[in-house]
Amino acid sequence: MVNSPSDERLHNAPVLAPRLRLGDTIGIVSPSWFGGEAFVPRAERGMAQLKRLGFNVRVGSHAFNNRGHVSDTPENRVADLHEMFADPEIRAIIATIGGNHSCHLLPLIDWQLIRDNPKIFMGFSDMTVLNLAIWSHTGLVTFNGPALLTDWAEFPEMSAFSQDNAMRAICAPEPMGDLAPSTWWTEEFLNWSTGEDSTRARRQTPSEGWRWLRPGKASGPLLGGCLETMQHLRGTRFWPDFTGAILFLETSEERPTPEDVDGMLMGYENMGVFDQIRGLVFARPYGYADDDKRRLHDVVVERTAKGDFPVVADVDAGHTTPLQTLPIGCKALLDSEHNRFAIMEAAVR
């Protein structure tokens, strides 16, 4: 049964899924979109990477379908999700890709099923909708991390940074501790549909590390995700309680202008979000020229000026590659003086 709007949303402690072990089975779902047949070779490369790491893989019945701007009907998409949570052999669930319509699933999800069967759920971009809704309705820690078609399927192989951080988050029943910036990043696009993505590795740009837009020290549960996707949750019963949280935000490949971001963040200011949080993590933006990036950071500083909290930018947790896995709901620490961004609680048990 789908639960009512009166579901409890506040949690004294995060709910942890059992850790992933070698030989466990990972379920693959497409809660939002999938590119159809043209994307299957890349999906197979991602699944091959998971198998090389020692895991089994099971694909949802409708995961590789395509119905234009979505992978399948909301009913079929949620059926795959429910099947994965209900199956005792499935120990983790990874989304193929994002999109823009995971929000279709929210009225259909059986929250009690998820409460009774806590499992690792991983994805980013539009999966923010499910990451945050699952957290707010069940207390289960979810993972803003690699999708099957992104880092898991990178050619010629998944980057060590993305792989090591994902495994660290979902396989080790201990805090991730101090995170570190990648030494490089890329946003080069090689077409997945034509097979261009399997001809060579993407060009890497040396990283200058994190940038502190406002100094300070703070800790709290880490909550957030893709800024544009979070617009689907505003004003709904799925919007999390950000009181005392470290807010994490990233922008998508749609590249909202600094002016558009200013408007979205003004909405957060009007909602009182910046009065509630203790810190802000802003991921490296995808596809921004240097001048646009400077203006974007200026907007972030201006919109949060009334908040006396630290702000760190250019974290490897957005749409550029490689990707830092972040556990949604676990206690995080920001400390500009010591250039620290750390996860202080275990994300799995």
Domain CATH number, residue 317: 3.50.30.60
Q: Are residues 299 and 243 in the same domain?
A: yes
Predicted structure pTM score: 0.96
What are the tens digits of pLDDT across the range 36-56? 999 999 999 999 999 999 999
What are the tens digits of pLDDT across the range 56-103? 999 999 999 999 999 999 999 999 999 999 999 999 999 999 999 999
Within-domain flag for 6: no
Q: Are residues 201 and 333 in the same domain?
A: yes
Within-domain flag for 5: no
Return the CATH number at 57: 3.40.50.10740
Q: Domain boundary residue among 131, 156, 175?
A: 175
Q: Are residues 208 and 339 in the same domain?
A: yes
Helices 290-303, 258-271: axis angle to 10 degrees equals 10
Q: Are residues 330 and 198 in the same domain?
A: yes
Within-domain flag for 45: yes
What are the tens digits of pLDDT across the range 117-172? 999 999 999 999 999 999 999 999 999 999 999 999 999 999 999 999 999 999 99
Domain that holds residue 239: 184-343
Q: Residue 39 carries which DSSP code?
A: G
What are the tens digits of pLDDT across the range 248-291? 999 999 999 999 999 999 999 999 999 999 999 999 999 999 99
In total, how many domains does the chain have? Answer: 2
Q: Are residues 146 and 233 in the same domain?
A: no
Reported residue count of the chain is 349
Q: Residue 231 carries which DSSP code?
A: T
Within-domain flag for 122: yes
Number of H helices, E strands in the chain: 9, 16
Strands 217-226 and 177-178 turn out to be unpaired
* Measured distance CA(49)–CA(187) in Å, rounded: 21
pLDDT score at 13 = 85
